[in-house]
Amino acid sequence: MKTLIASVVLASTMLLTGCVTFPTQESKKVDVIWDEVDAVKECKRMGIVFGSEGHFYDYWLHADKDMVWGALNQMRIKTAALGADTLYLFQPLNFSSSVTMFGNAYLCDKKEEAKPSVE
């Protein structure tokens, strides 16, 4: 009986835990910058985005670096959804059981310049 109860508790805990957010094809195109104000001065601000990974009940199942990576991926996905190409991060909030980050999404239109054709 104790084994059954332990199994149910473990299964319930595993169902409550979420996976870390992975990047999408579109979010991989988003540049992430920090502390480079000049990099966005010519860009159009598209909005504020946030990302959060981890919960009070499952943070011990995820490494801090994985939660930070997941929060950044959430922000990159939201930035791409706004039509922006650059994410400017604010200073992260202190955390102990989850990671929450905020930033501004910018459209900087960083298309590669056309290379001259060689004839």
Does residue 51 belong to any structural domain of this protein? Answer: yes
Residue 72 pLDDT exceeds 80: yes
Q: What's the CATH code of the domain at 88?
A: 3.30.110.70
Q: Which amino acid is at 68?
A: V
pLDDT tens for 74-87 read: 999 999 999 999 99
Does residue 7 belong to any structural domain of this protein? Answer: no
Mean pLDDT along residues 28-55: 89
Does residue 81 belong to any structural domain of this protein? Answer: yes
Does residue 41 belong to any structural domain of this protein? Answer: yes
**Percent of the chain's residues with pLDDT above 90:** 33
Give φ, ψ of 25 to 5 degrees.
-60, -45
Residue 35 pLDDT exceeds 90: no
Does residue 12 belong to any structural domain of this protein? Answer: no
Boundaries of domain holding 91: 20-107
Q: What is the pTM of this model?
A: 0.70
Mean pLDDT along residues 15-25: 62
Does residue 30 belong to any structural domain of this protein? Answer: yes
Q: Which of 99, 101, 58 is nearest to 78 (CA)?
A: 101
What's the domain count of the chain? 1
Strand runs (DSSP E) across 40-79, as ranges?
44-53
Residue 102 pLDDT exceeds 60: yes
Q: Which tokens in the block code for residue 83?
A: 């039509």
Does residue 15 belong to any structural domain of this protein? Answer: no
